Amino acid sequence: MEQNSRRDFLKTAGVATAAAAASGLVIGCSQEKTEAPKPQAPAVQPKKTIEWKMVTTWPPHFPILGEGADKLAELINVMSDGRLKVQVYGGGELVPPLEAFDAVSQGTAQMGHGAAYYWAGKAPAAQFFAAVPFGLNAQGMNAWLYSGGGMALWEETYAKFNLIPMPAGNTGVQMGGWFNREIKSIEDFKGLKMRIPGLGGKVLAKAGGTAILSAGGEIYTNLERGVIDATEWVGPYNDYKMGFYKVAKYYYYPGWHEPGTVLESFVNKDAFAALPKDLQEVVRTATIAANMWMLCESEAKNNFYLNKMVTEEGVQLKKFPDDVVVALRQYSKEVLEETVANDPLSKKVYESFLAFQKNALAWSKISEEAYYSLFG
């Protein structure tokens, strides 16, 4: 708006100057009336529009996650006053969802939106920038990434793919998942077929379960038909939209496996370098705003949908027993140590993560934890 007003003003000023020149009026205080000033060129150059494609791992306009990608594109379009136009493609519209990373790496698209744990097969260290079982929550992840050295490590991890990563959203603490049998001891995970991706899936395997990979669109049917016994997804708002309450009875918390999952955008390095400096800053700042937006959406909506499912749909809310959590935490530690054992970059990232978490936990004892304990 301000830019438009400024442009209008400049345009008007330009016209006034030209009119003054044409009429022979002298502008300023010069006494020498030799010749009328020549009409000036318009002060504003015509806008040059740069067009980018954003490929995503989500179905088009998928609640919160896909909407976050839409939001990011909209922010860039508006903040750049239309000079950088980003067109969003849902998973499968331009390239399949899990080919988004390669598409941006190779320059087929200039920008992508997803979650870093999808790329664990290409770079094991990537998992630490999405979700770590018993790792940092949203506040901790943002603090580690933006102010604790995490971004430099993430950039190092993606550099060989010609990509620049940026945090672009966070789900907050996820739920533990949907089950059709109660989890009373760690033994109850034995033989359990659960849809749970990434490091969390490896932890389940250590507990004797089987981690099944299902694409988002297949989970509901697989749970209904008994192909899987349980699934995790995100949190109450997203899970309500997926309808899991219709096919599973128990809803467990907390999401020990994804305590603050980071969504990402990744930008092709050459495309970014080709932008003028102000548009580079627009991309970075819009992504920070989108990161904030997604966390706030999740935090604002989750409790409403949780209550709705419990009171209207008969969902039974259950907390994982303490001894189950202790066992899962031990298995998680083993999984993480095994993950970094053969990959120096993962080891470096894990060490930074652990050191940051140690300090974050110590500070939270006298800040967040102490504060929440005031409410009993």
Interface with Ca ion by CB under 5 A: which residues?
A: 258
Cα distances (Å, whole numbers) of residue 178 to 247, 305, 353, 359 = 9, 15, 29, 33
> Going along 278-355, which residue ranges are E strands?
316-319
* Shortest distance (Å) from residue 138 CB to Ca ion: 14
For helices 277-312 and 65-79, angle between their N-to-C axes, nearest 10 degrees = 150
* Shortest distance (Å) from residue 197 CB to Ca ion: 7
* Shortest distance (Å) from residue 174 CB to Ca ion: 5
* Shortest distance (Å) from residue 235 CB to Ca ion: 9
Residue carrying structure tokens 């996650």: 65
Asked, as a colleague might, if the bond just before 236 is cis with ω within 30 of 0, I would say no
* Shortest distance (Å) from residue 196 CB to Ca ion: 8
- 130 versus 309: smaller Cβ distance to Ca ion: 130
Closest CA to 175 of 84, 110, 52, 261: 261
- 256 versus 266: smaller Cβ distance to Ca ion: 256
Four-residue CA torsion sign, 188, 191, 194, 196 = positive
> How far is it, in rounded angstroms, from Cα 199 to Cα 207?
13
> How far is it, in rounded angstroms, from Cα 288 to Cα 310?
34
- 111 versus 199: smaller Cβ distance to Ca ion: 199
* Shortest distance (Å) from residue 263 CB to Ca ion: 11
Q: Which residues pair with 169 in a beta bridge?
A: 263
Number of residue whose CB is nearest Ca ion: 258
- 258 versus 264: smaller Cβ distance to Ca ion: 258
- 229 versus 258: smaller Cβ distance to Ca ion: 258
- 258 versus 297: smaller Cβ distance to Ca ion: 258
Q: Are strands 111-114 and 262-268 parallel, antiparallel or unpaired?
A: antiparallel
- 131 versus 153: smaller Cβ distance to Ca ion: 131
* Shortest distance (Å) from residue 258 CB to Ca ion: 5
**Strand, coil or helix: what is 262?**
strand
